[in-house]
Amino acid sequence: MASLLHSGPASAFRTQVVALRVSPAQSMASMAASSSFSTLCPQARLQASLRSQSSLPTLSIRQSRTFLTQLRRQAQALKEHTTSASASPTPVKPAKKPSPPLQLTNLPYFVRRTASNQLPVYVDTKAGGNKQLTKVQKTEGDLDALRNDLAVALNVSDVRGKPNPDVTLNRLTGHIIVKGWRKPEIVEFLKERGF
């Protein structure tokens, strides 16, 4: 007799019950060998039940074992089926020509993202709302190179090579401050460079 009990989404118990017939002519040693696989029926209980029912011609002993098995979920079966089906070659559609990628392997600066995976670009309003500043935080590396590249990208660079006062650098905090509401342009600049 076997039954299947479900306990949770990924496992199940299978219980098997076996009835053994033991005649009084068998010795205790042979009976101990036949019931040694059971962990649920100890030897002492077996011997006590034999002594109390020794007048019967046969003795019925009930033993049970429990097996833990894994059940596959339907979603797992579908996933395995689709991965095996997708292993067969499928025709690939040619995509349009991608633009040549920007060589960014050796940038001397880095902008770290926030804990919520956003770019650290913030807009600050001062002087009663009349003065707007855009601030880039969490910068590392050569901040002068980042400031110069950002000034060129925003078209506020100075032709004489001097740093533009519209893009300033706070070396103590590592912030780059740009005059005006320039957050969308700065975010696009950082995304182009892979930050």
Rounded mean pLDDT for each run of 10 residues along the chain, 195 residues in total: 48 54 51 44 55 55 66 61 56 54 74 94 92 95 92 83 84 94 94 90
Q: What is the DSSP letter of 29?
A: H
pLDDT for residue 96: 53
**Which residue, among 192, 141, 135, has the nearest Cα to 168 in the 3D structure?**
135
In the prediction, which pLDDT does 114 show? 94
Q: How far is CA 83 from CA 50, 87, 149, in A?
A: 58, 6, 45
Please state whether beta strands 167-170 and 175-179 pair in parallel, antiparallel, or not at all (unpaired).
antiparallel
Residue 51: predicted pLDDT:
58
Q: What is the pTM of this model?
A: 0.46
168/145 Cα distance (integer angstroms):
12
Note whether 170 and 137 are within 8 A (CB): no
Instruction: For tokens 């997708």, name the residue.
Output: 86
CA distance 86 to 80: 10
- What is the pLDDT, as a whole number, of residue 36? 42
